[in-house]
């Protein structure tokens, strides 16, 4: 179903401007924006992916990754075709970088997403896999219909402030991908860093539970300087309780010439980050140590995980057995 888009304006000669993300695309009649899922139909901007997920699964919440948000629960997760970034290493490029007509989708309107979520005994809906910003209308309507369910936004954070502010009251948690330094954003993702930092600040200020993922790519964003910059930025602009996930890169899409990230590299990054942040994880490679949550006070491992599964959880009412409150959403 084609649905009229939100956040756009009419210009002359049936040209429209989409103001959903910082690209603010100018789109002529019959053409599409940079994300390839928003099209100008005779001077009206249409979303081509409303109610049309190409990916839908029941996932552990740990897979988003969210480690401090209802651990051990499952989340019904959906994503449509399209993305407003073009990362050369996209792990989901078959669906994020293709036109909607080239990706087989099912019909799953917002009411059905909510029903499916109930039917599989979940209370969390995640907007994920590709980039939920580009299916904003579908996400927004679903979240609005979801009642007491929780809504999770797994995003690159490249969104304008007005749509973000309208979405925030409907969100319970978010995982935002932080890609690298200014130059990295330009060269490897085809975008720019500033809006992502603003998104993180806005979500944090409005008390949406956030966790950050940083995929570490050998030689491109893995220097000590890069890691320290991100850690300092989180400590200075957000707070030390925001969980940070360092994730391993696998050669794919347009970046097949680089090796996969070593566990040693992830562990080094974690060690640097632990100097300032309380909860730092390694991901995409087996690592029991980097996969557990530790109490910042008594240092005990309070939540242990194997892969995406919780194998031990000692938290009681959000507290470590020593009495220290652990930041997160636990019930
Ligand atoms: S959401 Fe798509 S069409 Fe709109 S500004 Fe961003 S890239 Fe352009
Ligand atoms: Zn403790």
Q: What is the pLDDT of residues 30-82, one digit of tens each?
A: 999 999 999 999 999 999 999 999 999 999 999 999 999 999 999 999 999 99
**CA 138 to ligand 1 center in whole angstroms:** 15
The span from the CA of 67 to the CA of 59, in Å, is 13
Q: Which atom of ligand 1 is nearest to the CA of 27?
A: 3
pLDDT digits (tens, 9 = 90+) for 84-100: 999 999 999 999 999 99
* DSSP β-ladder status, 38-41 and 44-47: antiparallel
**Nearest residue to 242 via CA among 302, 327, 126:** 327
* Residue 231 burial class via C-beta count within 10 angstroms: exposed 0-12, middle 13-18, buried 19 and up: buried
Residue 1, pLDDT > 70, answer no
The span from the CA of 122 to the CA of 70, in Å, is 11
**CA 157 to ligand 2 center in whole angstroms:** 33
- Alpha helices per DSSP H over 19-86: none
The span from the CA of 40 to the CA of 185, in Å, is 28
The model carries a pTM of: 0.97
Q: Which atom of ligand 1 is nearest to the CA of 34?
A: 7
**Protein residue with least CA distance to atom 3, ligand 1:** 33
Q: Which atom of ligand 1 is nearest to the CA of 134?
A: 1
Q: Which residues form ligand 1's pocket by a CB distance below 6 Å?
A: 18, 20-21, 23-25, 33-35, 38, 84, 134
pLDDT score for 2: 78
User: Can you read off the two tokens belonging to residue 232?
Assistant: 């300092």
pLDDT averaged over the chain?
97
Residues with CB under 5 A from ligand 2 (ion): 295, 297-298, 320, 322, 324
pLDDT digits (tens, 9 = 90+) for 96-121: 999 999 999 999 999 999 999 999 99
User: Can you read off the two tokens belonging to residue 122?
Assistant: 């979940």
pLDDT digits (tens, 9 = 90+) for 315-330: 999 999 999 999 999 9
Provide, rounded to the nearest whole percent, the portion of the chain with pLDDT above 90.
99
pLDDT score for 213: 98
Q: Please tell me the number of the ligand nearest to residue 35's CA.
A: 1
């Amino acid at each position: 179903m084609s649905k009229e888009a939100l956040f756009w304006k009419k210009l002359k000669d049936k040209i429209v401007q989409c103001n959903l993300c910082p690209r603010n695309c100018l789109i002529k009649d019959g053409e599409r924006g940079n994300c390839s899922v928003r099209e100008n139909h005779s001077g009206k901007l249409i979303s081509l992916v409303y109610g049309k997920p190409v990916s839908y699964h029941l996932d552990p919440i740990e897979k988003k990754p969210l480690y401090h948000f209802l651990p051990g629960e499952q989340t019904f997760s959906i994503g449509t075709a399209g993305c407003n970034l073009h990362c050369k290493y996209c792990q989901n490029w078959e669906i994020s970088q293709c036109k909607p007509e080239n990706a087989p989708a099912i019909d799953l309107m917002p009411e059905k997403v909510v029903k499916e979520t109930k039917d599989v005994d979940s209370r969390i809906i995640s907007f994920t896999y590709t980039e939920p910003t580009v299916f904003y209308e579908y996400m927004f309507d679903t979240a609005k219909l979801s009642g007491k369910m929780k809504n999770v936004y797994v995003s690159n954070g490249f969104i304008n402030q007005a749509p973000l502010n309208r979405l925030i009251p409907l969100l319970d948690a978010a995982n935002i991908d932080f890609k690298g330094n200014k130059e990295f954003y330009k060269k490897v993702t085809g975008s720019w860093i500033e809006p992502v930092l603003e998104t993180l600040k806005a979500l944090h200020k409005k008390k949406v539970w956030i966790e950050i993922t940083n995929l570490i790519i050998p030689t491109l964003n893995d220097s000590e300087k890069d890691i320290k910059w991100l850690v300092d930025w989180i400590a200075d602009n957000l707070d030390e309780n925001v969980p940070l996930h360092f994730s391993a890169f696998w050669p794919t899409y347009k970046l097949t010439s680089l090796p996969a990230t070593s566990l040693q590299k992830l562990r080094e990054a974690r060690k640097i980050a632990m100097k300032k942040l309380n909860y730092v994880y390694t991901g995409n490679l087996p690592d029991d140590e980097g996969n557990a949550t530790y109490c910042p006070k008594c240092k005990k491992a309070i939540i242990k995980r194997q892969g995406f599964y919780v194998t031990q959880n000692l938290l009681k009412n959000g507290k470590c057995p020593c009495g220290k409150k652990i930041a997160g959403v636990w019930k």
